[in-house]
A and B are shown apart, each in its own frame.
Chain A
Amino acid sequence: SQKIEQNSEALNIQEGKTATLTCNYTNYSPAYLQWYRQDPGRGPVFLLLIRENEKEKRKERLKVTFDTTLKQSLFHITASQPADSATYLCAPTGRRALTFGSGTRLQVQP
């Protein structure tokens, strides 16, 4: 069955450093992969979408890579800020509705 793995342990980093979050998937070949941010008690908010024929996508301080051979996406936040603290969800998109990973909680210390 399809499986999405994100590091369940929280990632703690210092302000100003680059945060790197990992999303691995197995048993399917998504055409797209999306990343969402979720704050406590709120619904997820879309951040970036990357297609299978794109190796990298950037938006302001965010960068996403998509390696279809490794079945992995990396999500980077450069010059991180305490306001970036949240849970980040990846969603490899196949032939059905979005399926989400369990998310990785990022904590940026001032």
Chain B
Amino acid sequence: GAGVSQTPSNKVTEKGKYVELRCDPISGHTALYWYRQSLGQGPEFLIYFQGTGAADDSGLPNDRFFAVRPEGSVSTLKIQRTERGDSAVYLCASSLSTGGGALNTGELFFGEGSRLTVL
């Protein structure tokens, strides 16, 4: 497709389980971002990839959260030992990289999100 694709759109799991959320960015976009959004709040930054490497993972809340992007395209956000507080919409976005370094001047193209509910 032409846009950012996220699967699953909805995921219900039990506390303590492992979850994987997938993001397929726009073809040719080298930068990929994961955000988390709770009701009534703005997107909260989790991690940013430039190519295959995590350029900034300072937003990951703890070591239960991990993300990979092995071939520089599709990314997977992995959450171990899920907790009820992890319930949120997980948004993925991609952008064209405008050059090296941490400064990103490009607009982000978001997917529709994966709604995670931990019971």
Chain A positions within 8 Å of B, measured between CB atoms, are: 4, 6, 8, 31-32, 34, 36, 41-46, 49, 89, 93-103
- Let me know if B113 and A43 touch, CB within 8 A: yes
Interface of A, helix, strand, loop or mixed by DSSP: loop
What's the least CB distance linking B78 to chain A, in Å?
Answer: 19
Interface of B, helix, strand, loop or mixed by DSSP: loop
A31 to B104, CA, bound (A): 10
List residues of chain B with CB within 8 A of the CB of A44.
Answer: 43, 91, 108, 110
- Subset of 14 A-B contacts with CB under 8 Å: A31-B103, A41-B112, A42-B113, A43-B110, A44-B43, A46-B109, A89-B42, A93-B103, A96-B45, A96-B56, A97-B104, A98-B108, A101-B42, A103-B42
Minimal Cβ-Cβ distance residue in A for B103: A95
Most buried by B among A6, A43, A45, A100: A43
A34 to B109, CA, bound (A): 12
List residues of chain A with CB within 8 A of the CB of B108.
Answer: 34, 36, 44, 46, 98
- Let me know if A89 and B43 touch, CB within 8 A: yes
Contact of A100 among B42, B103, B105 (CB under 8 A): B42
What's the least CB distance linking B79 to chain A, in Å?
Answer: 19
- Contact A45-B43, Cβ < 8 Å, known A97-B33, A97-B104, A98-B33: no
List residues of chain A with CB within 8 A of the CB of B59.
Answer: 97
List residues of chain A with CB within 8 A of the CB of B110.
Answer: 43-45
